[in-house]
Chains A and B, each alone.
Chain A
Amino acid sequence: SQTIHQWPATLVQPVGSPLSLECTVEGTSNPNLYWYRQAAGRGLQLLFYSVGIGQISSEVPQNLSASRPQDRQFILSSKKLLLSDSGFYLCAWSIAGGVGNTIYFGEGSWLTVV
């Protein structure tokens, strides 16, 4: 069966510091991968999605970036964090291609920028 792991689970970072969140998927090949952000009490905002190694689509302009160095690895980064970057970050995957593909979420990472 497929599993998705995301880390770290929580982190507190000062403004201006870098960020790296990592996610790996097991049990499937060539998945679609996603990074979402959820602000407190709000819905899910799609930040990035990837259909293959090195292929990243950005949904919203921001100071975050994503990379997919391996088929089942997805990384969210920032060079300098802003206070507004605080939130709940979720990595997710779905089967590639077609429609009706369910999105499955990792455990999430709570980021507090202070």
Chain B
Amino acid sequence: QKEVEQNSGPLSVPEGAIASLNCTYSDRGSQSFFWYRQYSGKSPELIMSIYSNGDKEDGRFTAQLNKASQYVSLLIRDSQPSDSATYLCAVEAGKSTFGDGTTLTVKP
């Protein structure tokens, strides 16, 4: 079992829809959780971090954390074609471990 698992996708949503990206992790001691966006051929850039159970909102992005169930998700509201990218989940338990990413395509 991988330490951090994400559906590879591709996930396709129409413009204006909500995109839901999920991530599960194996280490119950994990304390910090991050979502990165990576455009094709570019380096990952941080979208959000979350440390406590519940929701954290930043503009069109909402991160959700459930430590008991060991999952973290990212919701993108009003999805835009510019959101088309690979989204990486990272989990820290002393050092960060990255999932393989979910590729999102937003169709106009």
Binding site for B on A (CB under 8 A): 42-44, 46, 49, 90, 94, 99-108, 110
Q: CB distance A100 to B32 under 8 Å?
A: yes
Q: Can you list 15 A-B contacts (CB < 8 A)?
A: A43-B88, A43-B101, A44-B88, A46-B95, A99-B32, A99-B92, A100-B51, A100-B92, A101-B92, A103-B34, A103-B90, A105-B44, A105-B45, A106-B43, A107-B42
Give every chain B residue within 8 A of A100 (Cβ-Cβ). Answer: 31-32, 49, 51, 92
What separation, in Å, do the CA atoms of A46 and B92 have in the docked complex?
13
Q: CB distance B31 to A99 under 8 Å?
A: yes
Q: CB distance B95 to A49 under 8 Å?
A: yes
Over the window 85-108 of chain B, the binary record of Cβ atoms lying under 8 Å from chain A Cβ atoms (1 yes, 0 no) is 000101010111111110000000
What separation, in Å, do the CA atoms of A68 and B61 have in the docked complex?
37
Q: CB distance A105 to B43 under 8 Å?
A: yes
Among candidates A43, A46, A102, residue contacting B34 with C-beta atoms closer than 8 Å: A102
Give every chain B residue within 8 A of A99 (Cβ-Cβ). Answer: 31-32, 92, 94
What separation, in Å, do the CA atoms of A102 and B106 have in the docked complex?
27
Among candidates A44, A106, A110, residue contacting B98 with C-beta atoms closer than 8 Å: A44
Binding site for A on B (CB under 8 A): 31-32, 34, 41-46, 49, 51, 88, 90, 92, 94-101
Q: CB distance B98 to A104 under 8 Å?
A: no
Give every chain B residue within 8 A of A107 (Cβ-Cβ). Answer: 42-43
Shortest distance in angstroms between B15's beta carbon and chain A's nearest beta carbon? Answer: 25
Shortest distance in angstroms between A16's beta carbon and chain B's nearest beta carbon? Answer: 27
Q: CB distance A108 to B43 under 8 Å?
A: yes
What separation, in Å, do the CA atoms of A108 and B95 have in the docked complex?
20
Q: CB distance A43 to B99 under 8 Å?
A: yes
Give every chain A residue within 8 A of B42 (Cβ-Cβ). Answer: 107-108
Across the A-B interface, the 4 shortest Cβ-Cβ residue pairs: A43-B100, A100-B32, A105-B43, A44-B98
Give every chain B residue within 8 A of A106 (Cβ-Cβ). Answer: 43
Nearest chain A residue, comparing its CB with the CB of B49 = A102
